[in-house]
Each structure stands twice: as structure tokens, then as C-alpha cells.
């Protein structure tokens, strides 16, 4: 059954599929508590909520036995035409990954039920207190890099992670993937704000992605001057990672950007109004930050060209 599920996942376009026993993650719980204690979650107060469920899926899904971890590639070598235009993270080029992945995962879930009709479970795509990267690592799909991203030897780090938590036992991964970061420190050195600490921890307050997406207030002045043109998210630590040198372009039509978006000039961005925002970013991850926040980010870039 495990092999059938993996085969179907790959047929549906997933870049990786692995299984873990649903149980408490004691070591990851310690790391989470230490991260929260240091205040590295900044104003993301929700990260401190439901900690018990976040580290133990059996409390999140009653009767759960298995966590299926799934990777979905979103890498693209396409670039915005105007090199001086505000820069979007690659994951925000097309349709919101929550929609795309859930549709694919629902198909996989229905396939599992066809194999085992008594199957019950839930699908999660960055929408509940689940330690996505920890579970993907536990399932043998990669290791946690120095930039805290999951890195897959076959797919790199430009991958979304989702889970299906089931009441069915499967063949679990028992040997974790080795750590292949070695002595490389390119991600740490490339981060313009020093957000990547030397213990594979991110100080969110100093992270451009946090400041341009999660932070609903003004961007910290000391970060504002180091945005390096980023208006929504940041890919710098991934762009310099050697494990992404051979990353393949995704094959997901839903992630393809609106051609008009890629053609926008710096001036077009500065003149962006609500109507244009709604047209360009319908069902896009950029909707998460909203028009006012995006305009505020643009103003920050204008002050620090």
C-alpha cells in the first residue's frame, strides 16, 4: 500500500512522498520552545498557540497513525523583465499554493481511500499547527539546511510541504536523510539582514520575508535599508544554495505567472492601484499581505532605492 501511494503521488506531480509514525516530536519540541523563548517568532504570536498539537499530531487528528509528507516543486528560472522593478518571491508568481496543493492532495487522499475504504484523516497545507519541515525530514525527504529550509537532494529547497494525517499504519522511514550542507555557509553570508543565525535558526524580526509579509506594521528602519529590492518575500538564501543549482522548472500550470506581472516596470509598480492589485493577484499568495501592506512595502523601497 505504501508503494502504491508513493507511485500515485509522483504521478500527481509531487516531488517527494514519505511516511512517518504519528507521535510526539520531543527533540523538535525543545527547539521550538527555545526559538519562542528567544522571541525569534517576532510578532507571529500564533506560533506559540496550540504547542501541544504542533508537536503531536495524535492530538490534532484523533486516531492518527501516519503522517504522509509531500513535496511540491515551485522552482522557476523565469525572471521579471525590469531588473529594477520590485522583486517578488518565486512562490508568489502564480496561483496560491494552498489551493493548488490541496486539490492534488485531495486526489491522493481519495486514491488512498480506494485502497483502504476505512481510511480517515485530514489534509494540511500550511494551515494548522504542524511542523512541516520536521515531518518531511523525519520521512526521509531531506534535511534542514543552515537557512532552516528543508533541502531535498533531488528537488532542492524550492518546494512546498503538505501533510495528510491518517488513521492507517504504513511503512515508515527509519533512516533519516544525511545532512549535506557540510561547511558551506553561503546562505548565512548572503542574507543582507543577518537573519540566519549560526544554529540553523531564523530571527524573524530580521528576516525580509517576515517584514514584507507577516509584519502588518511598518518595516523596521534597520531592515528597510536592506530590502535589496524585495517587495514580497525573499529567495536570496535559496538562490545561493548549491543544492538548487540543478533545480528543475516546475510543471504546474497554476504556478505560471500572469505575463503582465512579469512585464511590470518599476514605475508600473509604484503606480499600482487597488483595481490593478485585484486583477493581478486574484488567488495569489500576495493577497495575504493585502493592498495597503504591499503599497507600504513599495514606499519603503522608494525611500531606499
Sheet strands side by side (includes 16-21): 16-21, 66-73, 159-166, 121-124
Distance CA 98, CA 84 (A): 30
pLDDT of residue 198: 85
C-beta of residue 234 within 8 angstroms of C-beta of residue 207: yes
Confidence band of 166 (pLDDT split at 50, 70, 90): very high
Tell me the pLDDT of the chain averaged across its residues.
Answer: 95
pLDDT of residue 304: 76
Of 2, 27, 114, 109, the closest CA to residue 61 belongs to 109
Q: Average of pLDDT values for 238-251?
A: 97
Residue 130 has pLDDT above 90, yes or no: yes
Q: Average of pLDDT values for 33-55?
A: 91
pLDDT of residue 236: 98
What global pTM score does this model have? 0.96
Report the sign of the C-alpha dihedral through residues 137, 143, 148, 152, in that order.
negative
Residue 37 has pLDDT above 90, yes or no: yes
pLDDT of residue 48: 86
C-beta of residue 18 within 8 angstroms of C-beta of residue 154: no
Q: Average of pLDDT values for 5-32?
A: 96
Residue 50 has pLDDT above 90, yes or no: no
Dihedrals phi, psi of 232, to nearest 5 degrees: -155, 105
Query: Per residue in 144-160, pLDDT tens?
Result: 999 999 999 999 999 99
Which residue is catalytic, options 126, 218, 222, 239? 126
Query: Per residue in 213-223, pLDDT tens?
Result: 999 889 989 99
Distance CA 234, CA 255 (A): 17
pLDDT of residue 151: 98
Specify whether 126 is catalytic: yes
Amino acid at each position: 500500500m505504501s508503494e502504491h501511494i508513493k507511485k500515485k503521488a509522483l504521478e500527481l506531480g509531487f516531488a517527494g512522498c514519505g511516511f512517518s509514525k504519528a507521535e510526539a516530536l520531543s527533540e523538535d519540541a525543545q527547539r521550538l520552545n527555545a526559538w519562542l523563548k528567544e522571541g525569534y517568532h517576532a510578532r507571529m504570536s500564533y506560533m506559540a498557540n496550540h504547542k501541544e498539537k504542533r508537536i503531536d499530531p495524535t492530538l490534532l487528528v484523533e486516531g492518527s497513525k501516519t503522517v504522509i509528507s509531500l513535496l511540491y516543486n515551485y522552482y522557476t528560472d523565469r525572471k521579471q523583465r525590469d531588473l529594477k522593478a520590485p522583486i517578488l518571491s518565486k512562490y508568489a508568481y502564480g496561483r496560491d499554493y494552498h489551493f493548488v496543493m490541496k486539490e492534488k492532495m485531495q486526489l491522493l487522499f481519495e486514491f488512498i481511500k480506494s485502497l483502504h475504504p476505512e481510511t480517515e484523516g485530514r489534509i494540511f497545507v500550511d494551515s494548522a499547527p504542524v511542523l512541516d519541515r520536521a515531518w518531511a525530514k523525519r520521512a526521509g525527504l531531506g534535511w534542514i539546511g543552515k537557512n532552516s529550509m528543508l533541502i531535498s537532494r533531488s528537488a532542492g529547497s524550492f518546494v512546498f510541504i503538505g501533510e495528510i494525517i491518517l488513521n492507517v499504519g504504513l511503512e515508515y522511514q527509519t533512516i533519516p536523510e544525511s545532512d549535506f550542507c557540510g561547511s558551506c555557509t553561503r546562505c548565512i553570508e548572503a542574507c543582507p539582514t543577518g537573519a540566519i543565525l549560526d544554529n540553523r535558526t531564523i530571527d524573524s524580526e530580521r528576516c525580509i520575508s517576515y517584514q514584507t509579509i507577516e509584519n502588518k506594521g511598518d518595516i523596521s528602519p534597520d531592515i528597510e535599508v536592506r530590502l535589496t529590492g524585495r517587495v514580497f518575500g525573499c529567495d536570496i538564501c535559496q538562490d545561493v544554495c548549491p543544492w538548487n543549482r540543478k533545480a528543475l522548472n516546475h510543471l504546474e500550470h497554476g504556478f505560471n505567472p500572469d505575463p503582465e506581472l512579469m512585464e511590470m516596470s518599476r514605475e508600473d509598480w509604484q503606480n499600482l492601484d487597488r483595481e490593478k492589485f485585484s486583477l493581478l493577484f486574484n488567488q495569489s499568495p500576495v493577497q495575504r499581505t493585502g493592498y495597503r501592506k504591499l503599497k507600504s512595502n513599495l514606499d519603503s523601497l522608494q525611500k531606499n532605492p
